[in-house]
Amino acid sequence: MCDHRCLHCGPRAGSARDDELDTEEALRLVGELAELGVGEVSLIGGEAYLRDDFILVLRAIREHGMTASMVTGGWGLTDERCAAAAEAGLMALSVSVDGLSVNHDRVRGRQGSWTRAISSIERARSHGIKVGANTQINALSAYELLPLLDRLTEAGIFAWQLQLTMVHGGAADHPELILQPYELPAVFETLDRAADRCRERGIRLLPGNNIGYFGPSEHKLRFPQKRGGHYSGCMAGVVTLGIESNGELKGCPSLGGPTNQGGSWRQYGLRMLWERSQEIRYVRDRTLDDLWGFCRTCYYADVCRGGCTATSEPLLGRPGNNPFCHHRALELDRQGLRERIERVAEAPDIPFGTGLWQVIRESKDPDERQRTGPVAIERPRTSRLVHAFGSGSEIDANDGRPADSPERGST
């Protein structure tokens, strides 16, 4: 369930699933997470506080010795809910603030959302909860980051997580929200200044896994977060795990759809899926030969492995080639080129539904672009077949229908 209607929402949250885990199941799952050795459990959504039992789940996470955190839009985070969450042991809260008030409210789908989000930060802090913020960088918010940081500083955040809006779910229906790859150098100049201001103010800057990679700001942005101070590859199914509200497991909370569902916890249990599900193990098992396009030839290929899987797969049908890369944008700029993305197939109206896009490489000089047109086009690839755990059928990465289905998309 959710009390926002965000334009960019990956799971297209709104109403609860009919088959969501009940309280008893959720508490048993918390126990299995602890047995597996999990260190932190973060409740996300939708909105976790719309479940009547979210306090019981928080308390169980703490009783099993794990860190309990939560991500929220803050619309209905009342004083009573904050007090109860603090008493149950909530250790960190991250409030989503996607730009200044006008653009935040537009993207979040509710007037007054920005004011409520800022109030939630202040309210939770008054109950002794450490509160940070998370911000989606999109075509609207990208140029508001520094004044937004000033306002978040006034509200008293201890950390600020940033990530690029990804083209799945609702965002796939709104190309106007998505940054173009050629805009990344300007965005990273802003992020460089933001990193300096965060350090001066004692705020921990946390770049999401789709922020990067290997540009001149890499160490400044990542040294508080990553050992070695640089991106070290997608961690989906390596050190992270996503669990949907009905117990479907996946390697990363930002991944979705049948291609990435690794099996049902109800049917198989946590440990078996973590150890054996091909969809969850995908990043653990892949090699350089799974990269393609620009990323396969990149100097940093062996370390980066194409960056964030949840960014590249919804864009081009399979991971391993990611145009949202600072290093890539700068390398092309030195050659007098730039890249932009263009949607070629719309996404189905399902949670984490993905369309398909193509990457167009062209001259950065407008007169030359008009004269010559594209230099190259990287078209989507949908050849990564996965075997749904226990389903007995292959699934095509294009749309999640069986590979022999006559209704499969032809792009």
Dihedral Cα 298, 299, 301, 307, nearest 10 deg? -70
pLDDT in tens, 348-387: 999 999 999 999 999 999 999 999 999 999 998 875 544 4
Task: Look up tokens 């990553």; give the residue.
Answer: 226
CB 227 within 8 A of CB 237: no
pLDDT (tens digit per residue) in 121-139: 999 999 999 999 999 999 9
Buried b / exposed e over 18-38, threshold 16 CB at 10 Å, is: eeebeeeebbebbeebbeeeb
DSSP 8-state class, residue 177: G
Three-state secondary-structure class, residue 162:
strand
pLDDT digits (tens, 9 = 90+) for 57-77: 999 999 999 999 999 999 999
Residues 213 and 311 sit within 8 Å (Cβ to Cβ): no
pLDDT at 397: 34
Any residues with CB less than 8 A from the CB of 189 and at least 6 apart, and which?
Answer: none
All domains of the chain in start order, with CATH: 23-278 (3.20.20.70), 288-396 (no CATH)
Residue 408, pLDDT score:
26
Look at the alpha carbons of 232, 237, 239, 242 in this order and tell me if their dihedral is positive or negative.
positive
- What's the pTM value of the predicted model, to 2 decimals? 0.90
pLDDT, residue 230, reads 80
383's tokens: 């050849």
Residues 6+ apart with CB under 8 A from 326: 184, 185, 188, 212, 213, 214, 215, 217, 218
The predicted pLDDT at position 401 comes to: 31
* Residue pLDDT, tens place only, 155-197: 999 999 999 999 999 999 999 999 999 999 999 999 999 999 9
Distances (CA, A) of 42 to 66, 109, 202, 271, 287: 10, 24, 23, 19, 30
SS3 of residue 230 by DSSP? coil
Pair type for strands 130-137 and 159-164: parallel
As beta bridge partners, residue 43 has 70
Q: Give the separation between CA 148 and CA 107, rounded to whole angstroms.
A: 15
- At 227 the pLDDT is 64
- How do residues 392-404 score in pLDDT, each as one tens digit? 333 333 333 333 3
pLDDT (average), residues 318-339 = 96
